[in-house]
Amino acid sequence: MRIFLAFKSILFTVLVPGTVVFYLPCLILGRSGCLGRLHDAAFAFPGMAFILTGSAIYIRCTWDFAVSGLGTPAPIDPPKNLVVTGFYRWTRNPMYLGVVLILLAEALFFLDRGLSIYVAGIAIAFHIAVVVYEEPILRGRFGPSYAHYCRHVPRWGIARSPFTPATD
């Protein structure tokens, strides 16, 4: 079962976040002539730190979805249990934050206007998707436990202390 969840998670990651963080930025950079040229080597270290941090966040969240949630990041196979472990104890949308960190790294590497606009657009799209689609779905699926979680863990910020689920 966990092997199948891992396979589905990897497939989703390659197709969706892979497109968002690799394929589309390559198209944007290819059109501007920036692909393959770092703008300033001084941005390489912070950019690599963002990529490593964003990737680690995404991988850990995918793990938590499979182990704690018994699901994947894919909307067609979401977690069956509310995931409140790992980074989810601190912020409600760490997976999106990880993806945005990777995109910010790319924007630092290339300092391309089109890519910077793309990163801002993706961040806005994530916010809209969370508010309009994900949160209502999660409220319906997990009810009072999700409402309790939302009261204690910020949508995008970082909580002052880690979330502890209510005990019955």
**88-107: pLDDT as tens digits:** 999 999 999 999 999 999 99
CB contact set of 168 (below 8 Å; sequence gap of 6+): none
Can you tell me the distance from the alpha carbon of 53 to that of 47, in angstroms, rounded to the nearest whole number?
A: 10
pLDDT for 31 equals: 77
| Least confident among 5-9, 63-67, 158-162 | 5-9
Q: Which residue has the higher pLDDT, 40 or 122?
A: 122
Please state, as a whole number, how many other Cβ atoms lie within 10 Å of the Cβ of residue 36.
Answer: 9
| Percent over 90 (pLDDT), the chain | 61
Condensed to tens digits (0 to 9), the pLDDT of residues 9-58 reads 888 888 888 899 999 998 898 876 665 666 667 777 888 999 999 999 99
Q: Which residues contact 87 (CB under 8 A, 6 or more apart)?
A: 57, 60, 61, 64, 94
Give, in order, the Cα–Cα distances in Å from 150 to each of 6, 54, 155, 165.
28, 23, 8, 11
pLDDT for the residue numbered 141: 95
Q: What is the pLDDT of residue 153?
A: 97
- State how far Cα 67 lies from the chain centre: 17
- At 118 the pLDDT is 97
CB 97 within 8 A of CB 156: yes
pLDDT confidence of residue 92? 97
Binning pLDDT at 50, 70 and 90, where does residue 1 land? low
> Is a pLDDT exceeding 90 seen at residue 80?
yes
